Structure 1
Amino acid sequence: MALVKLQQIASVIRSKNSGPYELTLDVIFKDKNSFEAACRSRVINKTTIAKLYGIREEEVIGIVEFSPAYAIKATIVRPYPSGALGETDVYGAQQHALLLDLEVEVD
């Protein structure tokens, strides 16, 4: 077993709005083996997401593993509504970087 960074086994890591009050983080894996390794490791979980984004676990709305697309989606409450005073990323497109260095144990 070896540890690899999420960015090495994912073809897409992105963030986007999921409405004005929520942000969705998507990780789409390169292949079935990488997806299954990430699911087994449970590296993308409420505790990890909450720590990375400086939010409470209750603000992690959900985490979904979607095997047909080899994808994991996490949805969180936005710290500020999209377009609100003090908000810095109206589209939510710049929030995924915190996921890049997460490590996954692979065979």
Structure 2
Amino acid sequence: MPDRATPSIGDLAAEVRSKNAGPFWVTMELFMRDAAGYRIVADPAFLNETVVADLYRVAADDVRMFRIPSLNVVKISFPRPVPQGSLHDRDMHAGQHHVPLALLPVPEGTS
């Protein structure tokens, strides 16, 4: 359980969401409240392909990150663990995939 005294990405964001990007990919979007929050999540020293890969148990080489400073948005895509609608799919619309990312603690002194 995360320490709620430590702010998370979700605390700095206006919205963190996930959705299907076709039957084989998930896309997550971090809509940050302001440029300061964006600088934190856009910093590759904090949030990068390896961090996402570890959170979602996918290969880092398969993670795609798009940083959009003019919108204060970071978009992340990676292959779904199982195809959408398959027997073992537990979230057909990928609507809950964002939760581990939203709960990721922000490094001390950056929020």
TM-score, length-scaled by structure 1: 0.87
Q: How does 1:1-20 map to 2 (within 5 A)?
A: 4-20=7-23
Deviation at 1:78, TM superposition (A): 0.4
SS at match of 2:43: helix
Alignment partner, residue 51 of structure 2: 48
Q: Is the Cα–Cα contact under 8 Å of residues 15 and 96 in structure 1 kept in the other structure?
A: yes
Which stretches in structure 1 are left out of the alignment for 5+ residues? Answer: none
- Distance, in Å, in 2 between the alignment partners of 1:71 and 1:5 is 16
Tell me the TM-score normalized by structure 2.
0.84
Question: Does the CA contact (< 8 Å) of 1:9 and 1:34 recur in 2?
Answer: yes
Provide the residue aligned with 2:77 in structure 1: 75
Computed over aligned residues only, the root mean square deviation of the Cα atoms, in angstroms, reads 1.6
Determine the structure 1 residue equivalent to 2:3.
none
Aligned length: 104
Give the percent of matched residue pairs that are identical in Structure 1 and Structure 2. 26
Asked if structure 1 preserves the Cα contact closer than 8 Å seen for 2:40 and 2:46, the reply is no
CA distance in 2, matches of 1:24, 1:43: 19
* Runs (5+) with no aligned partner, structure 2: 1-5
Going by fraction, where is strand more abundant, 1 or 2? 1
SS for the counterpart of 1:37 is helix
Q: Which amino acid aligns with 1:98?
A: P
**Is the 1:43–1:102 Cα contact (8 Å) retained in structure 2?**
no
State the shift of 1:94 in Å. Answer: 1.0
